[in-house]
Structure 1
Amino acid sequence: MLFVLFQVLVLNNVEPGLGLYIMIYPLFIFMLPFQMGTVPLMLLSFAFGLVIDSFSNTFGLHASSAVVMAFFRPLIFKWLSPRDGYENIESISVYSMGGRWFLFAYGTLLLIHHTWFFSIESFKLNEFLWVLLKIGLSVPSSFLLSLLVQFIFISNKKAVR
């Protein structure tokens, strides 16, 4: 609920220019439990995206981007899986998984999410460079905000249990 409120009430109203659009809600999808199956994950992501779409008047853009991210999440997690697997990990965070894993996993998923979002938003080949600029500015900004949120709201002791 806090992700939706922050995205809709704060981030959607911030317009720094140059096509920069900061999104925090992909972090919610990323932090869902490892054990969640792909279909429930995609359904939950779709519903979550629809809620954001209803406040943003984006007509399914966030929902489709969230579903694409949810589809690739198990594949990325399997690709970056530790040798011993994920059994002993209660929650997904930068503390529990480590900075390098978080950078590659969340960075890749955020890149997929934003690429889909801005490509579908534009839907014109003649705006390819504009889409690349939006992706290039928005992915690092969204990633840094997601890191900041984790450092502020998730304690290191709680994540390591």
Structure 2
Amino acid sequence: MESSVHFDIVDGNLFSTFEIDPHFGDVVLVRDLDFEKVQIFNLTIVAKTKLSNSTSRIRINVQNEKDNPPRIRSTKFQIQENQKPGTTVGKLIVEDPEKRPLDELDVEILFQIPPQGKFYLNAENELISGATLDREETDSYRLLIRVSDKKMPNSSSESEITINIEDEN
């Protein structure tokens, strides 16, 4: 037996995220939701009979799952050799699709190659030299940096940073 009411989504169905059962009016999610793309869906539903039409609106609020880890955008730096220890090499730029406050993120150096520990990070995520650097000794350093959400440690990413030492002459 066919239903005498026909349901249809006529507006607000961005990316065809939902479908509606045309006979019963059940709205079903058919695509993954992503808070970073769409935070609210305002669906307009029409119920049609042979004699009349009726319109309803459904508002669907998408909750953020913090499913996108923060990342380091800046990965290459230079510093001239023979600078004093404590010289700023550069600032690590953290991109965060979840838009967490910076104080909720933890940025740390996991390891350095060569492993003498000649660099450290300050509270502003600036990369600082911890020693006088000599290009003839080592012309570049590689660091593995991890940035993570303090409240969700599994939401993290790692980036390799290269620091090239420029010749003074």
Largest Rg, 1 or 2: 2
In terms of fraction of residues, the more strand-rich structure is 2
TM-score by length of 2: 0.30
TM-score by length of 1: 0.31
Higher relative contact order (CA 8 A, sep 6+): 1
More helix by share: 1
